[in-house]
Amino acid sequence: MDEGTGAALVHALKYDGWHAVARPMARRMARLDWPRDVVRERSALVPVPLSVTRHRERGYNQAERLASALAAEWRIPLWTDVLERNRDTRSQVRLTPSERASNVSGAFRVTRGAHARLRGAHIMLVDDVITTAATINAAAQALSDGGARIISCATFGRAPEPGDRAVSDYDFIRN
């Protein structure tokens, strides 16, 4: 998500405090075509949590804003109290894939008392952007360890891989 409309939306939500963009972003995410069994089984949306320090600096969690808007679109519960980031991590922006994985390894845990709700649940884990999947994988591992049966992931964007073709703003709007 280096350039274009999608990147601008993520940046506006994540760094500029434009909370209103979460709803149209979630509407776009809600258009994803999931298999019927996934739609039928999903128990709740869980946003990837920020560290206490990052949440204090930003004043909100962009993944939670997206998940809240997506919960309204899909009409399923939003659980913001089952997963927490148990330590601060460095910004992932300039890290290599292996550094990203090390940075977030063990950074998430299921909150006290959440195991009963998670047991056997199909959780939809929500984040704004996926790059190497290190953060999503670490959060999913914690949810799995906490008793979730299935973890599906939904993000608004994906950082481009080397060799990806450039997608114009027109392609983004058209789709």
Going 138 to 143 to 148 to 153, the CA torsion angle's sign is negative
Within 8 A by CB and 6+ apart from 124, the residues are: 42, 44, 45, 46, 70, 76, 152, 153, 154
Q: Which residue type, as a one-letter code, is found at position 158?
A: R
Strands (E), 16-119: 42-47, 83-85, 108-110
What is the structure's pLDDT at 161?
60
What would the mean pLDDT of 129-142 be, rounded to a whole number?
91
Per-residue pLDDT tens over the stretch 39-68: 899 999 999 999 889 889 888 999 999 999
d(CA 113, CA 167): 44
Number of domains in the chain: 1
Q: What is the mean pLDDT of the chain?
A: 85
pLDDT of residue 165: 53
Measured between alpha carbons, how far is 168 from 166 in angstroms, rounded to an integer?
A: 6
Model's pTM, two decimal places?
0.83
Binning the chain into helix, strand and coil, the percentages to the nearest 5 are: 45, 20, 35
Contact between residue 49 and residue 84 where contact means Cβ atoms under 8 Å apart: yes
Confidence of residue 96 (pLDDT cuts 50, 70, 90): confident
Of 84-88, 130-134, 165-169, minimum mean pLDDT range: 165-169
Q: Domain of 63: which CATH number?
A: 3.40.50.2020
SS3 of 129, please? strand
Q: What residues make up the domain containing 108?
A: 5-162+170-174
| Range of lowest pLDDT (121-125, 139-143, 162-166) | 162-166
Predicted local confidence at residue 160, as pLDDT: 63
